[in-house]
Structure 1
């Protein structure tokens, strides 16, 4: 699954989609309200596809975690970002039992589930998982030939 073009901007709430480029930055669109604005080099921008969750043995990409939650929830929303930290930890344990509880903070879990629910609301996860499934089917048929 790919989360290409979906970013988080430090100091700004929510997730954003890159929609264009300027000489000094990028144009982003909020996934929550659709408003567009420029993000400059001074903003700390993190691409969701580059974020991982700490594990005891190895870190797992956020996309893998979201795919597992999506399948666990049958394509629906998961626990709320306002749910208790224990509820969020329990849900993450269902999909990533070996995550490092000492290095993954409650604030990280809050963002993880808030972002997941925003992506589900906007259809990004459904689209990304369907595209990943199509790609894996193509790969299998290519290997069979």
Structure 2
């Protein structure tokens, strides 16, 4: 499964897998507990494949940040997202040395680490961009 079908829904914990489209929105399944929810157009939804992290020179796609974490951890889990702010920032600096400290907050780092660990736990470790022919 690629990041193209993984969603973050504002106000809802964790990540969701896009299952199917409905008349009023779509159906998503939680990666945390497997519960399915109906998501309407009024929810603020972000595809993980569309999220990027600010650096001093450019915006780095989240898939690349996940790949770097995976390389650093040899495919294993990352630091606990409940670690202290300083530990999280130090860890993220090792992964992405030129991240923009003024625009990337500790809460953002915590969320990225939490998402990585959730994806890794569910065996979603292929973060490179998939070929469009492969998706069809």
TM-score of the superposition, structure 1-length normalised? 0.85
Superposed, 1:56-135 pairs within 5 Å as: 56-125=56-125, 128-129=126-127, 132=128
- What do residues 12-51 of structure 1 show as CA deviations (whole Å, max 9, x unaligned)? 0000000011011010000011000110000000000000
- What do residues 44-73 of structure 1 show as CA deviations (whole Å, max 9, x unaligned)? 000000000011011100000000100110
Question: In structure 1, what is the equivalent of residue 47 of structure 2?
Answer: 47
- Displacement of 1:93 in angstroms is 1.1
- 5+ unaligned residues in a row in structure 2: which ranges? 132-136
- 5+ unaligned residues in a row in structure 1: which ranges? 136-145
The alignment's C-alpha RMSD in Å is 1.6
Count the aligned residue pairs.
130
- Displacement of 1:133 in angstroms is 9.7
C-alpha separation in 1, matches of 2:35 and 2:74: 30
Question: In structure 1, what is the equivalent of residue 27 of structure 2?
Answer: 27
When Rg is computed on C-alpha atoms for both structures, the one with the higher figure is 1
> Which structure has more helix as a fraction of its residues?
1
C-alpha separation in 2, matches of 1:5 and 1:108: 21
C-alpha separation in 1, matches of 2:102 and 2:50: 21
C-alpha separation in 2, matches of 1:30 and 1:74: 26
CA change 1:38–1:133 in 2 (3 A) is closer
C-alpha separation in 1, matches of 2:56 and 2:120: 28
